[in-house]
Every structure is written in structure tokens, then in C-alpha cells.
Amino acid sequence: MLSFTKIKVLSIYLILILTIFFASLNLKNNNLIDKKVNLGLDLQGGSYILLEIDTKPLVNQKLQSKIIPIKKLLSKNEINFKDFTISLDKIAFAINKNDQKKFKNLFFKKQENTINNFISEYNKFELDLEFIENKAFIQFSSFGLVSLNNTALKQSIEIIRRRIDDVGTKEPTILQRGDRRIVVELPGIDNPERIKELLGKTAQLTFRLVTKEDGFGSEKLILSENDEELMVSKRVVISGDNLADAQPQYDSQSNQPLVRFNLDRIGAQKFGRVTTDNVGRRLAIVLDNSVISAPNIREAITAGTGTISGGFSFQEATDLALLLRSGALPAPINIVEERTVGPDLGKDSIDAGIFSLMVGFILIIIFMFVKYRIFGLVSNISLIANLFMLIGILTILEATLTLPGIAGIILTVGMAVDSNVLIYERIREELKTEKSIIHAFDIGYNKAKITVIDANVTTLIAAAILFIFGSGPVKGFAVTLGIGIITTLFSAYFIARHLTSVIVLNDKKGKYFKL
């Protein structure tokens, strides 16, 4: 166990130097190799936001859109039906028993089926049909729901990305988690509140006429400027989909902030037609069920451009323009988890973490030297090498260092000593019975090997499970703990063992072997 071939020694120290080189990359900016340990949000400050999409309204909306096509399909094929109703997630109607089979065949037609889409990915239909007595029930199949969720989630991620990019935060991370959640990580932002407001808004924009009729085709909405109640038609003139651009501006006359928008070709045509026909009426501009403004139509607007003024501040106008540009979310989104750390706390945490790391490290080094003298020194050298290698590997992997991660490093330092202690204690025992010093060291290393591996595998298991189940900072801990075990084994069995062998082989008089 004490003999090393030259090539072995060379590769051991080459690996060590390589990892030290990578560790040193963290000290200054290097353009050649751009690798660094990333700081977690808890250390550099920033926000972690977990969003959950609420697809219930979307399911209902999609079902609503099926009503007319289904009715058309029924009439076209001369199938009688009555009592047509729709609840939150179900369409129901009465149908004669002898017509049921016919309807079923039409409903599950694979080609050119515009009502019930066939999802080829799952080889299943989007909607389920069920007959109970003379009633038919239509609802989304589980596959339809998954597909609906997925599409909505993908769209939402795209829109959220646009919104965040527009605000101009550095290096945001936007990821899908599971089938209804989105993780947003925003390092180093100083005002998460603004972003949260931007993320949470559905931003469904519609232009609708204000009416006097109270009835099925209209609804009561509140004008947010002055809490005025308005009767607004449910018929949408144009929606946010027709916007080509939106920018904040100051009104040239009143100097009030407003949002100027440009419509696409279809939107401009529609807008022109409606404004021509309705001069003198009020047009409500509705955002997420509240009216931001309801100006009078003074003249036909055919140029496809207009302004929205709602007594906003310039910041509000900027944000509204941003929301309109990025488009509406397909479904409402809620923040279900948020963790924000201010930059000054992050800085304090790094300082405290690194300081306690240094202190713990020095205490252990002193302890080992006092206890094992020259072999303590060997163990200390391997401990320092261990630390460099750990940081070097974290750099190579561009891993994220978190506050618990720093704790993991300190813990690694504390436990790394264990391998050397196990070995030295073993050698000490062997020296009692064994006459040859070299032989005692040899046996000691050999016998301790099994124990060292057993002991480290158990910690590695804990680290792996933490990595799989942990989130954010805890994952950072698992990473440093896991890598720490590997570097510990390397430094104990290669570096420390080599240094020990150099000492033992050169110590003919047995000056140092008193452990």
C-alpha cells in the first residue's frame, strides 16, 4: 500500500494541480475559461418564485367554445336534443337512446373532427362522452386535460419570459416544474414586488362597448379610476391578440402618462368599423375584468392606433405597455411560494459563512497537528488539498453554492479528517504487534480501507437522497457534501498516503512513527 509508481504519483498531483487551477478561476474574471461557482439566491440576493397555473377557468372556457359546434353537429345530422346545460367542467343534454350510437360515432370520428380533437401523441381523444339513460355528458378526458395543461403551461412560460426579459433583469431562470408549475429565479433584483405584479397579471385585454341594456349579453364592471359602475357588452370588439405594439408615452397636451398601441391589420379593420358605427358611444377598455378607462368615441379611428389613458403614473403606464406587448396568459397564475433575500443579507451570510469556515478549518488543523504531529501535518496538507479540490470541482461543474452549501463544506472538513484518523488509529494498533514500521503502515492502510469506504458510502447515500428531494439551498448542501466525500477519499487514499509513504520510507531510524 505504500509503493507508488512514478506515473501514479504524477497523475495524482496533476489532478490536484488541475483542480486548484479551476478553484483559482473564482478569484478573478477570466475571459479564456469562463467558469465560476455560482452563488445561490440566498448568498447573492434575489427572488425565487414558484407559480402555479389555474386551468379551471380555461377548461370552462374551452368547453364553452364547444357548445355551438356540438349543437351544429347535432342539428346537421338531425339528432334531437334538449335541456342543453353547461357546468364548470361538463356539458350535458338529453338525447334519444336510439340516436346515441349515431352521435357517438360522429363524436369520435378520427378524421376532420373539429369538435373532439384526436391527440395523436397519446392516441386518445380530447373529450370523453358518456351516456346515462337518455342523457349525454361531455367532459375533458384525463389526456385532454394533460394536453390542455401542457399547452397552457408552455404558453405561460413563453409569456412570462417575455415579461421578465422586458423588465431587463440579469440572468433570469424560468423553468417548468411538474405539469402545472413554473419556477422563476431572479438573481440580484432589488424590487421583486414589481415583478410579482407583472407575473401575476393575466393581462387579458378587451375593447368592448358600453351599453344600457341589462341582460344576458352584458355585465356590470367597475371603472377603476373612479369606481363608476358600467354596463359593458360581453361582445369583444378587439382583444389583446390584435395588438401589434404598445408603448408608454406622455400626452402631448395634458402631459399625462398614457399607453399608445398599434393594432395589427385585422384589428385595425375591426376597430375602424366599430368606431365608425358607434361615434358618441363609450368604449370600455377592460383588463382582467376591470375597466381601466371608458372614453367616448369622438370620431372613427381607422389608422389602427390609439391611446389608453387611465390616470396612471409613468411606471404604471410602462408596466401596462409591457403586459400588453407580452400578451395575455392563457390562464390565471398564482404565486404559491416565494423566497426573497435582500443583497445585504446575502453579503452578510457569505461573510459569516466563510468566516466560520476559516475558524473551523484552523481549529481542526491545530487539533490534528497537536494530536498526530508530522502525520497530522500530512493530514492537514491533504485537508487543504481536499478543500481546493472540492472548490475546483464545484467550479468545473459550475455548481451553485448556497449557505447550507457552505455548511456542507465545513462539515466535509470536519468529517474528512475521519478517514485519516481511521487509518492512523489503525496503524497505531498495528505498530503494537508489528515490528516492521513499513509493514504496519501497509497493513493499517489496507485494513482501514474497507471501513473508510463503508463509512463514506453511507454519507454518500444521504447526500444523494438530499439531492433528489431537496430544493434550492438544500440541494446546494447535498452537492457540496457529495463531492466532498469523493475528494475526501481521493485526498486520504492518494495524497495523504503518498506523503505518508515518503516519510515512512525515508525514516530509517523510526524518528517519526510514534503516532
Report whether 202 contacts 333 (CB < 8 A). Answer: yes
341 binds another protein (CB under 8 A): yes
Q: Please select the residue that binds another protein; options are 9, 35, 339, 369, rule is CB under 8 A.
A: 339
189 binds another protein (CB under 8 A): no
376 binds another protein (CB under 8 A): no
Burial of 22 (0-12, 13-18, 19+ CB in 10 A): buried
**Of residues 97 and 432, the one with the C-beta less far from another protein:** 432
Shortest Cβ 378–another protein spacing (Å): 15
Shortest Cβ 369–another protein spacing (Å): 12
**Of residues 239 and 451, the one with the C-beta less far from another protein:** 451
Find the part of the chain contacting another protein (CB under 8 A) among 193-201, 267-275, 279-287, 292-300: 193-201
Q: Please select the residue that binds another protein; options are 72, 75, 345, 439, rule is CB under 8 A.
A: 345
Q: Please select the residue that binds another protein; options are 23, 164, 263, 410, rule is CB under 8 A.
A: 410
Shortest Cβ 428–another protein spacing (Å): 8
241 binds another protein (CB under 8 A): no
Q: Which three three-digit cell numbers place residue 42?
A: 440566498
Helix, strand or coil, per DSSP, at residue 376: helix
Q: Please select the residue that binds another protein; options are 24, 26, 233, 340, rule is CB under 8 A.
A: 340
CA 189, 55, 85: angle at the middle one, nearest 5?
Answer: 155
CA 221, 227, 233: angle at the middle one, nearest 5?
Answer: 20
Task: Tell me the C-alpha distance between 251 and 307, whole Å.
Answer: 9
Q: Please select the residue that binds another protein; options are 462, 506, 510, 514, rule is CB under 8 A.
A: 462
413 binds another protein (CB under 8 A): yes
Amino acid at 187: P
Task: Tell me the C-alpha distance between 514 and 504, whole Å.
Answer: 11
Report whether 294 contacts 285 (CB < 8 A). Answer: yes
319 binds another protein (CB under 8 A): no
Site for another protein in 420-459 (CB under 8 A): 421-422, 425, 429, 447, 450-451, 454-459
Beta strands 124-125 and 135-140: pairing type?
unpaired
57 binds another protein (CB under 8 A): no
Q: Which three three-digit cell numbers place residue 304?
A: 389602427
Site for another protein in 3-42 (CB under 8 A): 42
Site for another protein in 352-371 (CB under 8 A): 352-353, 355-357, 359-361, 363-364, 367-368, 371
Q: Both ends of the chain: CA-CA distance in Å?
A: 18
Find the part of the chain contacting another protein (CB under 8 A) among 24-32, 110-118, 203-211, 417-425: 417-425
CA 404, 406, 412: angle at the middle one, nearest 5?
Answer: 105
Amino acid at 150: N
CA distances from 133 to 71, 96, 297, 469 (A): 20, 9, 54, 48
486 binds another protein (CB under 8 A): no
